[in-house]
Structure 1
Amino acid sequence: MANPHAKGKEESRAKQGTHRQICQPKAKACRTLPRRFYGRKIPVATGEQASTREVVQMRAWSVAADQVVNFCGEAFSAWDPTHLRVLQNGSQLQLVLDQISGSGLGSQNEYMFGHFEIQMKVAPGNTAGTVTSFYLSSVPMTSENQRDELDFEFLGNASGEPYLLQTNIFTNGSGYKEQRVVPWFDPTASFHTYSISWTKQQVIFAVDGTAIRTFVNNEASGQLYMDRHPMGAFLSIWDGDDWATLGGLVKINWTASPFVASYKGYKADACIFDGNVSACAHSPFAANVYADGLFDLSSLSSVEDNFMVYNYCDDKDRFEVLPPECTLAK
């Protein structure tokens, strides 16, 4: 929903000087966030820039599975297994990005509705230009113009500056619904849990059980929703330096590579798609009650007020007419 107080918030922030403090949603611990990391001063790449390389990678998975990897009891097809390290009998893995290649995994199962989570630790140091992700996508199972997708993407930054955690959504080919937050923790120091709950009524993105974003099904009001196509689960690390850091102004410093992202604890408590959309649509995983109690939704306003540095629904410079969901109930 468009924020009616956005202008007032911007004016208030301008009066605060060049820095603002951000605090944990449930604690008083604060740290200083440089002004250049919030507001519309952060360039946002066009969707074409952001998605091109990732789409190429997903299509590579559809052509041939270089290697089948058992990760947390699930079968995944690996893209460039030379940049993949499987540890602890498949309970943990690392994806590696260097000047030669990145890497990724795509689940062999396809799903419709359910709860998906992963524990992830991103690369430390100068990671500008890198993108580390966990997401659900209907591509390559569907064409690009039918694409459904739910993204967690860590956008790297220069040493000493914070990562940005971007969520993005595509519905039946319509996408580029980015929100960005600065994590209230160091995502390089330890594992944290990133989860996506996808029901017929809404999608909830959460970090360590704290909701950071919702996307409500408002199809009755003309908004598209991801309830037509199954999606697979994907993990990846890749070179996104044409858009990821300050809109592509800061490039990857390859002398800082290899960049290593670590993953463990993958879970998919979801309806496995067998070709029958109706079966999954009427499964317990599709019901909103399924997500009740999994997340603390009271944190949403705190995240928006204290951690969000970009919301596409506030970007009137980018959109002459805001997307319909921006004016509908959350």
Structure 2
Amino acid sequence: IEAKDVLQEVVDVALECKTCLTDIVKFESCYLDKDLHVISNKLTITLKAREAAGVFDRQSNSALDFALARNLWRVRVSKLLEGLTKPTIGQIQNYLKEGLLMNISPKDHYRQKLMELNRIGSQWADVAKKVVLDSGALSLDKVFELIAEGENLPVYLEKELKSLRARSMLYCICRKPYDEKAMIACYQCDEWYHIDCVKLLSAPEIYICAACKPQAEESSTPQNVDGGRTNAEFLEPKTPSPKHTNSRKKLRKAEPGLAQKMLAIANNSSVFDCSSGIDNLWWHNRKPFRRAAKKRTVLDSLCPFIYTQQ
């Protein structure tokens, strides 16, 4: 009889524990609030009571474990949303999948928050993908506005932001963003050009763009001049014929007169210019005439030196 009474007491305790577990599991499944302290405390008390009861009930234990896992999901989502770094769109979508498998209610605070962030991030990502593939149709100022909008979102979209920043870089003479067309880089300025835009049939080993070609020609002209001089040094001089010498003598006799006239004219003009320039300089820098001594208004002190005829 005593053993039967003890067994009855154990059964009663097990039933009470099962009832408590069932109530806590139902409360947890219906809990939709942001504050997790209430449900966490109740689940902790229930877990301790199950261990103290010493009764194994497979159904009740599995239900309690499932409730604990659901609550742990809420705690992890709360830490993700309240962390110092922004959650990525991949993290948000992974937590949404886990919540769907755990039968988290669509009215749950944390699931609604994840769904809202997923909607905001997905909408912006769709717009960003269209802009990346528009071949430069959207103006740069609009692209920069879209980048700033993406940086201010509560969701971090690394891939889309990186693609938009690459889209804002313009190349070639067509000033278009990078696409998958064949391109070639200038050997001097490292600017990229489409092979079709620069009208090349094939990619050469060394390509210099039109903007760098004048610089290349300037750098190459002194070398050509020096090369011409060096080649001229090795040429054998030829003795001119008498006719050429006579004509040169006549030219030399006639040239000094013309050269002297031109030199005289140039000297006269330079002298006149110089004199006119000096005159202008003197005129602008002249000092005004001033009295060396102040004019006396009272002449009493000079009375002994003034001779007056009486």
After TM superposition, the score normalised by the length of structure 1 is 0.17
| Higher strand proportion | 1
Greater length-normalized contact order (CA 8 Å, ≥ 6 residues apart): 1
| Higher helix proportion | 2
**Structure index of larger Rg:** 2
After TM superposition, the score normalised by the length of structure 2 is 0.18
